[in-house]
């Protein structure tokens, strides 16, 4: 009986041990063969964590290597919520909220996340970091970071654009060339013990690759001269908006580009989104009389007219296809040159009528209207040019004087610059080259000839006609003592509710100087200035101020070099 009981007990113990051994063997096999990857990854996650390291975004320079956009050192704050107890999180939320001037509830929400790494605030100053370090808050860490800084605030803001919190380009050059500027991020992998304490050991470290640097065609000094002149006139004119572009007509380099209204790159959120529109290439309008350069060039190039040919301008009233066309001042007989000098709508229409719709359209396209210039900025639009088959009976009286066509200011300046450049159209551009931090060239832009628009002889004859516009015609306020100037005024009626307004206008002037060796071509456009609305009185003086100071500056640079 005793032996039987002992045998039963042995069997039970043995069975229990066997079942237990079998169970643990099964669990071991399950872990080893089916859950090993998951558990290994979990252990690695608990023992290691990666801190991202941002690259330094490339610097944007002007043509003289003066910085327009740079990165400054700041710090970003993070937390390891899994290392913190509830009381510690509450205490941290209260202290950090007070220092960082944010809601305690917002901070507590971040600290209550079940994560090993949570950003608390990005891009804070060293002063705030020192305050937080002084409090010795458990579970809080710091990463050296960088923040975009624009030393000139609003200067050239529509060209430069801006980058966001993560140093990603959001507007302008910052966006267009983001792939070059942003670089590649790195990381630092830190080891921790079982209690999630940092061991101050780096398991892996991948250094970031800093972004490349951009050098623009923009000249900071000419940009400043341009914006100073524009601000003065914009305030006086009470216009809705305004645009100025300064170009080297021989190369296509943009030396300055400015718009009003504008915005401050250091405080973007304080300005409405519409202030960020670069009107120079992203908005179109009917150009009005500055478009008469096409008729002038076509008439000479085709041999249909000579400068002293007489054209009767009907004393200011002329019927075209059932519509009465008017001149601002009535004229009788004018020479071909005088038609352009006095900006006669009737005379220009008669020039176009003699050459015909097909020929006029050919020169619209030769001057690249209706086509994007290809300038290296985001958001360029192409405007509209009607084919002759789409013309109405009145189109021959509208299109040559800058109606029924839309263009951007950069297209108009490109066309004028072709005349200034002896008939050769150059592609406008704004980025000279991309270089790395070792000054090695990554990508460069050279002046590019797009096409020959008109012959050298025609271009030089039209240059003299446009010089007459300034010397004797509608642009006398663009005159500069001791410097020859050529240009064309424009006063275009705005289309309001489908009809041409009698009270709202685009006032513009575009010109170049010196005529014998053009160094600058400039376009100035005001949207609905009041009370004066003529291009010759509103826009021409801005051109004069910009060119006078810019040529003085360029001459001083020549002396230094």
| Residues belonging to the active site | 289
DSSP 385-438: ---GGG--TTHHHHGGGT-S-BB-HHHHHHHHHHHHTTTEEEPPB-EEEEE-TT
Among candidates 512, 511, 509, 510, which has minimal Cα distance to 533?
509
40: number of Cβ within 10 Å: 10
CA-angle at 51, arms to 47 and 57, nearest 5°: 165
Please give the span between the terminal C-alpha atoms of the chain, in angstroms, as a whole number.
120
Listed in sequence order, the residues at least 6 apart from 91 whose beta carbon sits closer than 8 Å to its beta carbon are 137
Nearest Cα to 513, choosing from 474, 556, 466, 558? 466
Residues in CB range of 260: below 8 A, 6 or more apart: 230, 231, 234, 239, 241, 242, 243
Tally of CA atoms within 13 A in the half-sphere of 282 that contains its CB = 17
Contact 127, 101 (CB under 8 A): no
Q: Alpha-carbon torsion 399, 403, 404, 410, what sign?
A: positive
For 171, 271, 410, 544, 549, the CA distances from 241, given in Å and listed in that order, are 20, 15, 16, 20, 23
Nearest to 369 by CA among 420, 395, 408, 418: 408
Going by C-alpha positions, the residue among 337, 340, 315 that lies closest to residue 327 is 315
C-beta separation of 120 from 59 below 8 A: no
Bond before 90 cis per omega within 30 degrees: no
Nearest alpha carbon to residue 56 among 147, 139, 187: 147
| Cβ neighbours of 240 (radius 10 Å) | 15
Sequence-ordered list of residues with C-beta below 8 angstroms from that of 218, at least 6 positions apart, any chain: 62, 63, 68, 156, 159, 254, 255, 256, 257, 430
Q: Which two tokens stand for residue 60?
A: 């944007």
- From CA 265, how far away is CA 274, in angstroms rounded? 14
CA distance linking residue 410 with residue 426, whole number of Å: 12
């Amino acid at each position: 009986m005793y032996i039987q009981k002992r045998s039963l007990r042995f069997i039970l113990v043995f069975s229990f041990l066997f079942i237990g051994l079998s169970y643990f063997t099964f669990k071991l096999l399950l872990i080893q063969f089916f859950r090993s990857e998951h558990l290994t990854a979990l252990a690695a996650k608990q023992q290691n964590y990666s801190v991202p390291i941002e690259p330094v975004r490339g610097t944007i320079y002007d043509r003289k290597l003066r910085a327009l956009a740079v990165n400054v050192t700041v710090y970003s704050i993070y937390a390891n919520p899994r290392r913190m107890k509830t009381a510690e999180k509450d205490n941290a939320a209260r202290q950090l909220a007070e220092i960082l001037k944010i809601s305690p509830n917002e901070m507590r929400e971040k600290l209550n996340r079940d994560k090993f790494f949570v950003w608390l605030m990005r891009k804070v100053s060293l002063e705030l970091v020192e305050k937080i370090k002084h409090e010795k808050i458990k579970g809080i860490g710091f990463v050296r970071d960088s923040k975009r800084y624009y030393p000139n605030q609003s200067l050239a803001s529509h060209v430069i654009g801006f980058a966001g919190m993560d140093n990603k380009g959001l507007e302008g050059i910052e966006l267009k060339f983001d792939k070059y500027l942003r670089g590649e991020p790195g990381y630092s992998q830190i080891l921790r013990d079982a209690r999630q304490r940092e061991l101050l050991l780096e398991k892996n470290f991948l250094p970031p690759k800093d972004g490349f640097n951009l050098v623009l065609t923009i000249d900071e000094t000419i940009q400043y001269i341009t914006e100073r002149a524009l601000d003065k006139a914009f305030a006086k004119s009470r216009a809705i908006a305004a645009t100025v572009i300064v170009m080297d007509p021989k190369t296509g380099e943009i030396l300055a580009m400015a718009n009003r209204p504008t915005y401050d790159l250091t405080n973007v959120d304080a300005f409405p989104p519409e202030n960020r529109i670069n009107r120079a290439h992203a908005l179109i309008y009917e150009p009005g009389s500055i478009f008469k350069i096409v008729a002038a060039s076509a008439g000479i190039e085709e041999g249909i007219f000579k400068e002293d040919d007489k054209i009767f301008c009907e004393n200011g009233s002329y019927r075209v296809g059932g519509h009465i066309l008017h001149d601002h001042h009535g004229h009788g007989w004018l020479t071909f040159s005088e038609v352009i000098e006095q900006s006669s709508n009737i005379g220009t229409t008669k020039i176009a009528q003699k050459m015909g719709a097909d020929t006029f359209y050919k020169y619209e396209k030769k001057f690249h209207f209706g086509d994007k210039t290809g300038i290296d900025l985001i958001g360029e639009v192409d405007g509209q040019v009607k084919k002759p088959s789409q013309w109405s009976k009145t189109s021959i009286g509208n299109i040559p004087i800058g109606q029924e066509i839309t263009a951007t200011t950069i297209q108009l300046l490109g066309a004028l610059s072709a005349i200034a450049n002896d008939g050769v159209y150059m592609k406008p551009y704004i980025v000279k080259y991309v270089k790395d931090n070792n000054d090695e060239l990554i990508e460069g832009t050279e002046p590019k000839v797009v096409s020959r628009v008109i012959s050298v002889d025609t271009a030089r004859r039209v240059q003299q006609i446009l010089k007459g516009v300034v010397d004797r015609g509608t642009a006398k306020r663009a005159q500069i003592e001791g410097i020859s100037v050529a240009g064309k005024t424009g006063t275009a009626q705005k289309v309001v509710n489908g009809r041409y307004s009698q009270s709202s206008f685009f006032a513009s002037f575009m010109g170049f100087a010196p005529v014998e060796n053009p160094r600058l071509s400039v376009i100035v456009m005001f949207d609905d200035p009041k009370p004066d609305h003529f291009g010759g009185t509103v826009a021409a003086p801005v051109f004069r101020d910009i060119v006078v100071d810019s040529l003085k500056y360029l001459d001083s640079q020549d002396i230094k070099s």
